[in-house]
C-alpha cells in the first residue's frame, strides 16, 4: 500500500480535530459548545476521508474540466470580464481605504447608498 500525500494530510487533519475536541473537554459547557459543534462532525468527516485516502479512492471527473472550483466562462468577452474584475477590486479597495481613513460607521452608509 502506497501512502500518498493526501492521505498524510487527511490523517494530520484528523489528529488536529481530535486534539481540538479533547482540549475543550474540561471547559464550561458554553465555552466548549463551539469546539464540539465544529470538531465532532469534522472528526467524523476526517475519518471518512482518511479511509477513502488509504483505500486509494479518487474522485473522477467525466467532463474533462480541470480540477478547480471556479471555471472561466466562455460566454463573456475577455474585455468585459477584465472590466468587471477591475470594478469589483476597486469597490473592495475603496471600502477598505474608506474604513481606514474615515471609519467603519461612515463608510458603510456611503458604500451602501
Dihedral angle, C-alpha 14, 62, 65, 12, nearest 10 °: 10
- For the record, the C-alpha cell of 62 comes out as 467525466
Cell 464540539, residue located: 36
How confident is the model at residue 27, as a pLDDT?
Answer: 92
CA distance 25 to 44: 17
Radius of gyration of the chain (CA): 23
Grid cell 498524510 — which residue?
8
pTM of the model: 0.53
**pLDDT at residue number 72:** 63
Whether 42 and 17 have beta carbons less than 8 Å apart is answered as yes
Q: Domain map of the chain by residue range? A: 1-59, 74-113
| The pLDDT of residue 78 | 82
- Encode the chain (113 residues) as per-residue pLDDT tens digits: 677 888 899 999 999 999 999 999 999 999 999 999 999 999 999 999 999 888 877 766 566 666 665 666 667 788 888 899 999 999 999 999 999 999 999 999 988 88
Amino acid at each position: 500500500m502506497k501512502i500518498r500525500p493526501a492521505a498524510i494530510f487527511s490523517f494530520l487533519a484528523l489528529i488536529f480535530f481530535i486534539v481540538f475536541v479533547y482540549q475543550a473537554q474540561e471547559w464550561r459547557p458554553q465555552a466548549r459548545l463551539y469546539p464540539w459543534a465544529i470538531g465532532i462532525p469534522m472528526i467524523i468527516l476526517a475519518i471518512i476521508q482518511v479511509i477513502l485516502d488509504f483505500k486509494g479512492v479518487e474522485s473522477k471527473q467525466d467532463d474533462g474540466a480541470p480540477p478547480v472550483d471556479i471555471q472561466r466562462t466562455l460566454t463573456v468577452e475577455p474585455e468585459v470580464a477584465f472590466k468587471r474584475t477591475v470594478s469589483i477590486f476597486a469597490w473592495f479597495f475603496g471600502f477598505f481605504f474608506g474604513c481606514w481613513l474615515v471609519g467603519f460607521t461612515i463608510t458603510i452608509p456611503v458604500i451602501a447608498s
